[in-house]
Chains A and B, each alone.
Chain A
Amino acid sequence: MPRLLRTTAFRLSLLYAALFSLIASAALGFVFWSTSSHIDEQIDARLRLETDVLMQLFRSRELPGLLETIQTRNRADNAGTFVYLLSGPDRDLLAGPLTSWPLDLDASRTYATFTREQLFEVQPYSKGHDESIRVLVTQLPGGYRMLVGHSVQDAKRLQAHTLTVVAVAIAGILSVALLSGAFMGWDVLRRIDAVNRAAGEIVHGDLTRRLPISRRNDEFDALALRLNVMLERIEKLLVGMRQVTDHVAHDLRKPLNRLRSRLEVTLLEARNEEEYREVMAGAIADADDLIGTFNALLSIAQLEADVDRDDRVPFSVSALCEDLAELYAAAAEDKQVAFRSEIESDITLNGVRRLIAQAFSNLLDNALKYAPTDGTIEFRLRRERDAIVATVTDNGPGIAPGDRERVLERFVRLEAARSTPGNGLGLSLVKAVTNMHGATLVLADNSPGLHVEIRFPHALPRLTSAA
């Protein structure tokens, strides 16, 4: 419960309820005050009117006429709204429900308010004893005094009723506001608790956990969706990192062992300088391989970590491919492998030239490695309606369909490749480069051989986080 009271939703609704109640009270209070003063004025006006009528009567029909009228009216007014009294010069009561002039009201034309008790001899605490009566006292010629009174009970009742309505309305508004605030606060708490629970599980190591998303599609869901995408990425990176760490441990031990035994074996016997030189040159080559592996790993990691890098610029991929083709054609010819290239001219790509060059070169290296003597390597670049497509094919052993996903992972080397030099990172790097450029990498069958295709979407989208 105290948590609920601390929620922003609850506090806000409380604040608004208080504010609204304040304004409503002020408005209703003003209405109350103005109606009650209006009612008072009306009563006073009636008293004045009644007094004027009776004065008129007194002037035209003298005392007896007035007395008679007063007595008639006192009797007739059975609802008790109006009260009339008339006293003579000696304060003896001439007409009215009382036996004597009750009060010290001598001044002419004075308004006053009394309770019924104060005016009449009624039983204290009997019904209506505290009823307010508004009176107007008037001096008549000859020392007579006349009192006209009017009950204000109805007006009082009306005012009290208004007051009740106002109070009930404010109470209603307040409680509705509190309730809805509490509900909103509770709803927010419920959803935050769900997020909290999920976050807790993630903290405890369950990286597959995601934040719950309701069907409401509101800002909470938008936030959760965004966070889930983030979690997805983090999970991918962490899993990748774990894999890499494992693989690094496994796969780097082998060349390190080789290096170590090479040196150890050399030390077993005394050798001449030439032999030492040879072994050391070999050791340096081993170390270079290791450094190369580390560099490739580092490049892949950097590419995967930096999706939003902004060093892409448009460059002529046609020119790049021409240069690469020229560079590799000679090596292919040297190996008695036919090298064919079909490169469409004037194709521009928005990307990082160095990385794309590296990726293409890795593919060409592979093709050169696996193409048999008298085999063929084909390198193509063409523009399609919605993409720029680069393909590298060879007619070597190819990759079995079941292994085509796997070879893109770091350090995965197929049995067929064990005998050839390489670190098992070439295709991983290609994959990382294509991913970074929002391109797709497809390995297919060239029957026989491998067909690698990279499709760069034409309007390269900025890589959105949704993978």
Chain B
Amino acid sequence: MYDSGNDAMRILVIEDDQDAAAFLVKGLNESGHVVDHAADGHDGLHLAETNRYDAMVVDRMLPGVDGLSIVRKLREREIDTPALILSALGEVDDRVEGLAAGGDDYLPKPYALAELLARLEALVRRAKPEQAATHLQVGDLQMDRLKRKVTRDGQDILLQPREFRLLEYLMRHAGQVVTRTMLLENVWDFHFDPQTNVVDVHISRLRSKIDKEFEHPLLHTVRGSGYRLDEHG
């Protein structure tokens, strides 16, 4: 359901809580990913150093070496496997500290599996080059980032600046599920959850601009998770 289809990821999970780890491994497996699990910091560090992973999920509080130290050590040894840091502390400082230690994203516990999957996928894609591209394309939807111009099937689409950024983010993560929280963080730089459906409204406006006049919709709602921009339904 969450799997975007084509490529399975190889993921290292470093988590000492047995239940949480079992749930996470199962969830990742069922989404089609290959998972290694380490129950403490030493094992985790060892695995991360000796194997190649597409991404890793690191719990912040671990016996042995704590999560932030693991990431810091890996970065010192120039191993830059994208790392998603999990924390039960849930304070804003934790996020800042997590990113400062070399983490690529941060998720407070308890989290929704859908959110974690979406973020992992975003991390893995981000780690691949092609980012500097000035030109983005999904199906017949094209974006010229320099001229700030969007066309679909040759027709100009006029977007507000925020809509442009929203679409840009969706296009960069085309084919992936993008959650509301990810959109708030990356498009608006807001790190909190509004109680109302503010993001949905912006999405539906964008949708009316890029999809309304066209037979084949690009912007899909993924139930229970968020949105996905994809030329294949």
Contacts and interface: CB of A to CB of B under 8 A. Distances in A.
Interface of A: 281, 284, 288, 291-292, 295, 298-299, 302, 311, 323, 326-328, 330-331, 333-334, 352, 354-355, 357-358, 361-362, 364-365, 368-369, 421-422, 426
Interface in B181-204: 188-198, 201-202, 204
Contacts of B205: 330
Contacts of A421: 195
B91 interface: yes
A365 B162 contact: no
Contact of B93 (A284, A311, A369): A311
Contacts of B112: 284, 288
B110 interface: yes
A362 B223 CA distance: 25
Contacts of B162: 326
24 contacts: A288-B112, A295-B108, A298-B90, A299-B90, A311-B93, A323-B188, A323-B190, A327-B194, A327-B198, A330-B198, A330-B202, A330-B205, A331-B201, A334-B201, A334-B204, A354-B92, A354-B191, A357-B192, A361-B194, A362-B195, A365-B194, A369-B196, A421-B195, A422-B195
B190 A302 contact: no
B233 interface: no
B195 A426 contact: yes
Given A284-B224, A331-B201, A334-B201, A354 B192 contact: yes
B92 A295 contact: no
A365 B201 contact: no
A284 B196 CA distance: 18
A369 B197 CA distance: 11
Interface string B153-197: 000000000100000000000000000000000001111111111
Contacts of B191: 354, 357
B166 to A, nearest CB: 11
Interface string B209-233: 0000000000000011000000000
Nearest to B109: A291
Nearest to A352: B92
A426 B196 CA distance: 12
Nearest to B191: A354
Chain B: interface secondary structure?
Answer: loop
A368 B224 contact: no
Interface in B85-144: 90-93, 108, 110, 112
A161 B202 CA distance: 107
Contacts of B91: 302
Most buried by A among B92, B93, B223, B224: B92
Contact of A295 (B90, B198, B202): B90
Given A323-B189, A327-B198, A354-B192, 19 more contacts: A281-B224, A284-B112, A288-B112, A299-B90, A311-B93, A327-B190, A327-B202, A331-B196, A331-B198, A333-B201, A334-B204, A354-B190, A354-B191, A357-B191, A357-B192, A358-B192, A362-B195, A365-B194, A368-B196
B192 A361 contact: yes
Contact of B193 (A281, A292, A302, A355): A292
B169 to A, nearest CB: 15
Contacts of A328: 198
For chain B, give the interface size range. 20 to 34
A309 to B, nearest CB: 9
B27 to A, nearest CB: 13
Across the A-B interface, the 6 shortest Cβ-Cβ residue pairs: A358-B192, A330-B201, A365-B195, A331-B201, A331-B198, A334-B201
A200 to B, nearest CB: 37
Nearest to A358: B192
A369 B198 CA distance: 12
B123 to A, nearest CB: 22
Nearest to B93: A311
A354 B93 CA distance: 11
Contacts of A331: 196-198, 201
Most buried by A among B190, B191, B192, B198: B198
A378 B47 CA distance: 55
A55 B191 CA distance: 120
Contacts of B189: 323
A288 B224 CA distance: 11
Contacts of B192: 354, 357-358, 361
Contacts of A426: 195
B58 to A, nearest CB: 21
Contacts of B108: 295
A358 B191 CA distance: 8
Contacts of B110: 291
A277 to B, nearest CB: 10
Nearest to A319: B189
Nearest to B223: A281
Contacts of B204: 334
Most buried by B among A281, A323, A352, A421: A323
Contacts of A334: 201, 204
Contacts of B196: 331, 365, 368-369
Contacts of A299: 90
A206 to B, nearest CB: 34
A354 B91 CA distance: 11
A284 B195 CA distance: 16
A362 B198 CA distance: 12
Nearest to A368: B196
A385 to B, nearest CB: 31
B88 to A, nearest CB: 10
A354 to B, nearest CB: 5
Nearest to A362: B195
Given A281-B224, A288-B112, A327 B193 contact: no
A334 B189 CA distance: 23
Nearest to A422: B195
A317 to B, nearest CB: 14
